[in-house]
Chains A and B, each alone.
Chain A
Amino acid sequence: MKIKRSKGETVFSIVNCIFLTCIMVVCLYPIWHVLMASVSDNVEMMRYQGILIWPKGFDLSAYGVVKQNPAILRGYLNTLFVLTVGSTLNIIMTSIAAYILSRRDFILSKPLMIMIVITMYFGGGLVPFYFTVKDAGLDGSLWAIIIPRVINTFYLIILRTAFMSLPDSLEEAARVDGASHIGILFKIVIPLSMPTIAVLILYYGVGHWNSWFDAMIFLRTERERYPLQLVLREILLQNTMADSTVINSDNRPDIGETVKYALIIVSTVPILCIYPFLQKYFVKGVLVGSVKE
């Protein structure tokens, strides 16, 4: 399907590329800044205020400090567990729910939809939620940060929208052939919605990677189960806490400015790498060939 390009389109393409390149520069900058700051000299960083193009001085000792901390490796392992197990459950449950809600001929789908959407905006706050999770016997285990959030309603609705945009004819044909709902879901609907599923894997995965609040609430005493972000937050907070209580004679240890940045690099870079792997599902026209209209 080679389309002949007009002159106007060529100009458009060039402008487009320039524009996107600008966006890339702007979006790449924060991580570049953090990276440069993490290899800078600590005192130089304290003195400096402004944007970084190259490191101020050069010093890798911040990474040494990070490496020494045993909690970080343990945090990685915990996060990895939550990430894999959690995301798998997330996708399964969300797909089932989205499938049910996307059935137009199912009379409960509308009431269920309203019931589910309401939960996005109504809640009782932290204390009742805590008791609910505790009553379920999950307090203190990693399941407490997986199960209570197994479906994210927002993502569920995204997936439902994707399911609904599939042509009905496909599923109707399958129904006529005697396929069960589960069969249709896993053999037809999910494979055809792979781009959206990939997005959800990314969203859920990143969500698990970045989450710390639930872990802080439910794993209070289980230090060895802390996920990476909670470990990180604790270390970073040492500094900000000292800031917030200005009247404080106590010389609390001050972790270096550069260590903060090194921690951010160490805890961010792995998750950045998952997107390129998921991009292979972003293929145009997955529907071509399967639709016979």
Chain B
Amino acid sequence: MKRKSFIAAIAAMSMFTTGILSGCGEKKDEVKTSASPTDAKYGDTYPIESSTTLTYWVEFPNQSTAGVTNFADLPFYKAVKEKTGIDVKFTHPSSGEQNNMMLASGEYPDIMEIDFYNYPGGPSKAIEEEYIIPLNDYLQFAPNFCKYLEEHPDVDKMCKTDDGIYYSFPFIRGDKSLIVFCGLMLRQDWLDELNLEVPTTIDEWHTVLTAFKEQKGVAAPLSFLTSSLKSSAAFSGAYGVRSGLYIDNGKVKYGEAEPGYKEFIKTMHQWYEEGLIDKNVATLDSKILDSNVLDGKTGAMIGNVGGGIGKWTSAMKSVDPNFKLVAAPYPSLKKGERVRFGQFDNMVQAAGSASISSSCKDVELAMRYLDYAYSEEGHMLFNFGEEGVSYNMIDGYPTYTDIITNNPDGKSFTDALYIYARPNGNGPFVQDPRYMEQSASLPEQKKALEVWSDNDADKTQLPRLLLTTEESDRIARIKSDLDTYTSESFMSFILGTMSIDDYDEYLNQLKSIGVDEYVQVYQEAYERYKTR
């Protein structure tokens, strides 16, 4: 009975895998000329006439809010069908385990929205094992997708493997403003009350948090989930490091082993001792964070634009009308210093990318179906829905109609939007910044996006590297030991169960686990990436 736990553990791993990148580029012309085995059956114009029905495998997590159980019943996909002329039968897995079992069964649908980027050994391995096909030979059937990649060489680079193979139609964040969505924020009303400015340096943060503690008397002036502290690099950025891997002047570095990291955890420990950080930081989960914020137990936190500012502000509207949040920039050590770290996502996302399987009988049709989303018309449909239904062009700006912003059935903006378009989820299309402008409609949300992007995080962000199977094997043991050791030590340093005097011992342990080899492997992968 208990043995099942291991099975489930395996199963759970795949829950977090989804997505890939792909694209076209300079190789395209060469491909086109050599692409004799695949003559076009269908024209470049939609709707396409074909009696073939494609099968499409994709998660559909919000059925209960959408009120239907299949994409085919959504007004949005009805519109897609009408526009492309292609009939698609959707199957919705409810978990990663089902992806694995589908792959294990050997019976694949034509199109799969599954993350092959994170497949062990990378997408090349997935191609070698005949799950998916390389798209290079068929790129002439995806003119819109290719056009986009030609116009965006950076994106193109992230869409292919080191060998130049395209393997999916990815989810692309269409603008820099869509890449940053997480950061530090404070209670504006408390700052006003205490006559304080929004802090920008570590020292100013200390002052503000101390004021919250002493003058507002709150138990936990600063609350955050450890995972968001790490992924956003808040505070650690001031000391010139971030947790995990990053790029520093062309070199791959591992933050936990860098000198600045010691200063960072020293500060965190000091704040913890002074009671500025929630005493329960180790056990904090998102439910407790919510109640901390909403119950006025905390005055500063790390959160998202939507899931943080948006959620908390709207929940407090009826309870405390004074409640107001303000985003703070990623703090620096010295005033005016430019921070090199912050939350920053890659333009191309692993989640939501669609690959074509090896059992697909009509690859051209599948290519054309997926390519539609990257066309001008498809782009509007995927981001805004049908004109006249879910949006109207007002002064050249696609503005969501009342059906989205003030839904007659009382659905929220997000819930309603999911019925008519897909920009608030991921999927094989280019996300439009004008969606976010209307979604993050509060002025403080707009401000937050601005404030959080004002740093050089893009220069230190590790691009989406691909490891070879050999490399994955080399770091397999190191990676799990390293991950356990660093996260455990981090928390122990903050809580003081590990003394900062033992830092050298900590570094030695990192070395003996093999941090150098780990970084080396990624350095090699980075070199390959640069020459893509």
Residues of A within 8 A of B (CB): 43, 46-49, 65, 68-71, 120-121, 123, 125-127, 130-131, 134, 139, 154, 213, 216-217, 220-221, 223, 230, 233-235, 237-238, 241-255, 257
Contact = CB atoms under 8 A, between A and B. Distances in A.
A247 B343 contact: yes
6 contacts: A121-B3, A125-B10, A238-B62, A244-B16, A251-B307, A254-B311
Given A220-B102, A223-B92, A247-B345, A253 B97 contact: no
Interface in B324-382: 343, 345
Given A43-B315, A238-B62, A252-B61, A48 B304 contact: no
Nearest to A69: B64
A254 B228 CA distance: 19
Q: Which residue, of A46, A70, A127, A244, has the highest number of chain B Cβ atoms within 10 A?
A: A46
A216 to B, nearest CB: 6
B288 A126 contact: no
B520 interface: no
Interface of B: 1, 3-4, 6-8, 10-11, 15-16, 61-65, 67, 69-70, 91-95, 97-98, 100-102, 104-105, 178, 181-182, 225, 227-228, 231-232, 285-288, 290-292, 294-295, 304-307, 310-311, 315, 318-319, 343, 345, 412-415, 418, 424-426, 436, 439
B352 to A, nearest CB: 9
Contact of A221 (B8, B91, B426): B91
B286 A250 contact: no
B335 to A, nearest CB: 28
B243 to A, nearest CB: 12
Nearest to A222: B91
A216 B94 contact: yes
Contact of A47 (B6, B227, B291): B291
B291 A49 contact: yes
Nearest to B310: A251
B65 A251 contact: no
Given A213-B4, A217-B97, A252-B414, A47 B319 contact: yes
A131 B16 CA distance: 24
A220 B91 CA distance: 9
Contact of A223 (B1, B69, B181): B69
Contact of B95 (A69, A216, A235, A246): A216
Contact of A46 (B97, B290, B425): B290
A257 B4 CA distance: 29
B351 to A, nearest CB: 8
Given A71-B63, A237-B94, A255-B65, 7 more contacts: A43-B319, A65-B64, A213-B97, A246-B227, A246-B228, A249-B182, A251-B306
A243 B64 contact: no
- Going nearest first, the 6 A-B pairs with the smallest beta carbon separation are A249-B181, A251-B306, A49-B291, A47-B294, A253-B65, A251-B414
Contacts of B10: 125-126
Contact of A134 (B100, B105, B288): B105
Contacts of B424: 250-252
A46 B288 CA distance: 9
Contact of B11 (A126, A238, A252): A126
A217 B290 CA distance: 34
Secondary structure type dominating chain A contacts? helix
B311 to A, nearest CB: 7
A127 B11 CA distance: 10
A90 B188 CA distance: 62
A71 B69 contact: yes
A264 to B, nearest CB: 15
Contacts of A65: 64
Q: Which residue, of A47, A127, A251, A255, has the highest number of chain B Cβ atoms within 10 A?
A: A251
A125 B10 CA distance: 9
Contacts of A254: 307, 311
A49 B295 contact: yes
A47 B295 contact: yes
A68 B318 CA distance: 26
B287 A49 contact: yes
B435 to A, nearest CB: 10
Q: Which residue, of B100, B307, B343, has the highest number of chain A Cβ atoms within 10 A?
A: B307
B121 to A, nearest CB: 18
Contacts of A46: 290-291, 294, 315
A154 B1 contact: yes
A71 B69 CA distance: 8
Contact of A43 (B8, B292, B318): B318
Nearest to B352: A250
Q: Which residue, of A49, A65, A121, A127, has the highest number of chain B Cβ atoms within 10 A?
A: A49
Contact of B307 (A49, A230, A242): A242
B98 A216 contact: yes
Nearest to B180: A249
Given A47-B294, A134-B105, A230 B62 contact: no
A257 B315 CA distance: 12
Q: Which residue, of A216, A249, A250, A254, has the highest number of chain B Cβ atoms within 10 A?
A: A249
A253 B418 contact: yes
A154 B65 CA distance: 41
B178 A237 contact: no
A125 B9 CA distance: 11
A111 B426 CA distance: 56
B80 to A, nearest CB: 19
A91 B516 CA distance: 59
A240 B356 CA distance: 29
Nearest to A74: B69
Given A71-B63, A216-B98, A221-B91, A245 B16 contact: yes
A246 B92 contact: no
A171 to B, nearest CB: 31
Given A49-B287, A248-B304, A255 B225 contact: no
A15 to B, nearest CB: 36
B307 A235 contact: no
Nearest to B285: A243
B349 to A, nearest CB: 10
B100 to A, nearest CB: 8
A70 to B, nearest CB: 8
A233 B61 CA distance: 11
B94 A252 contact: no
A220 B98 contact: yes
A243 B4 contact: no
B317 to A, nearest CB: 9
A68 B418 CA distance: 18
A242 B287 CA distance: 12
Nearest to A234: B94
A252 B65 CA distance: 10
A234 B64 CA distance: 9
Contacts of B178: 249
A126 B310 CA distance: 41
A246 B94 contact: no
A150 to B, nearest CB: 15
Given A43-B315, A216-B98, A220-B101, A237 B8 contact: no
A127 B104 contact: yes
B225 A249 contact: no
Nearest to B226: A246
B94 A230 contact: yes
B315 A213 contact: no
Contacts of A252: 61-62, 414, 424-425
A68 B415 CA distance: 15
